Amino acid sequence: MGFILLILFIGVPVIEITVFIQVGDVIGLWPTLIIVILTAIIGTALLRQQGLSTLMRAQASVNEGRLPAEEIFDGVCLLLAGAFLLTPGFVTDSVGFLLFFPPFRKLIRAKATEFILKNGNIHIVHPQGPRPQDPASPHDPTIIDADFEEVSPNPDSPWTEKKD
């Protein structure tokens, strides 16, 4: 993993510098710089709009009692997209703009889920079926699930037994 990060930290700037030089040769220095600044501004606006939308969807999921897993994944993708768009460069800007498109995020989410389910040690409990600790479970009907709170008796209460 460390080797991959080393290659990324060296390779990405080299690729970005190469693309900067080639684009600068074709369209000139100032248009190149203006494009880089515009991508940062557009990326910030997209991040604000889609970030708020994702936050609202996450709140709705929580209010419905669901885990907002898709919204959390989208939020992480949007965070990465914003970082890529604020980093000067055409390659990182391209990846950043791709992360703003929901179909692309859906594809990445599906691939990541497939990878995690295949390689991870994950146990999924489906909420449709009864769980072993569920009181309605046919496995052990003697289990009763309850909450309690210890309350000290109030001596002035009419319900408290008077001891003489």
The residues, ordered by sequence, that sit 6+ positions from 152 with a Cβ below 8 Å of its Cβ are none
pLDDT at 158 over 70: no
pLDDT level of residue 77 (50, 70, 90 thresholds) = very high
Separation of alpha carbons 124 and 122, rounded Å? 6
What global pTM score does this model have? 0.65
Q: Residue 8: how many CB atoms within 10 A of its CB?
A: 10
pLDDT at residue 149, rounded to an integer = 77
pLDDT at residue 153, rounded to an integer = 72
Tens-digit pLDDT profile for residues 111-154: 988 888 888 776 666 555 555 555 455 556 677 777 777 777 77
pLDDT at residue 82, rounded to an integer = 87
Element housing 53 (H / E): helix 29-63
What is residue 116's three-state secondary structure? helix
Three-class SS of 72-108: HHHHHHHHHHHHHHHCCCHHHHHHHHHHCCHHHHHHH
Decide: 66 and 49 in contact? Cβ < 8 Å.
no
Core vs surface per residue 57-89: b (16+ CB within 10 A) or e: ebeebeeeeeebebbebbbebbeebbebbebeb
Q: Which two three-digit tokens encode residue 101?
A: 């498109």
Decide: 100 and 46 in contact? Cβ < 8 Å.
yes
Q: Residue 121: how many CB atoms within 10 A of its CB?
A: 5
pLDDT level of residue 26 (50, 70, 90 thresholds) = very high
